[in-house]
Amino acid sequence: MTEAQIKEVILKVLGRIAPEADLDTLDPDANVREALDIDSFDHLNLLIGLNEELRVDIPEADYGQLTTLAAILSYLSARVR
């Protein structure tokens, strides 16, 4: 899977969780939870969605690394086969 494809998956899952957000303008270095006003429940659903789509296991200890779009992308890119 290319990075572009992974990014597409991330945006798709985010779009399901925050359908009203304009993801095209989302700054890759912005804190996703703050930028999209995502609460802890939505955040968990984001990770569940990514896990289902990409089959990457994300331990809870790593949640702190997954704050921005860029960080999520690099985390997943390193792990997706």
Contacts to other proteins by CB under 8 A: 16-20, 33, 36-37, 39-42, 44, 47-48, 51, 57-61
**Tokens linked to 34:** 């703050």
Q: Which is nearer to other proteins, 4 or 78 (CB)?
A: 78
Q: How far is the CB of 30 from other proteins (least distance, A)?
A: 16
Asked whether the beta carbons of 68 and 33 are under 8 A apart, the reply is no
Question: Phi/psi class of residue 43: alpha, beta or left (left: φ > 0; alpha: ψ in -120 to 50)?
Answer: alpha
Q: Which is nearer to other proteins, 8 or 62 (CB)?
A: 62
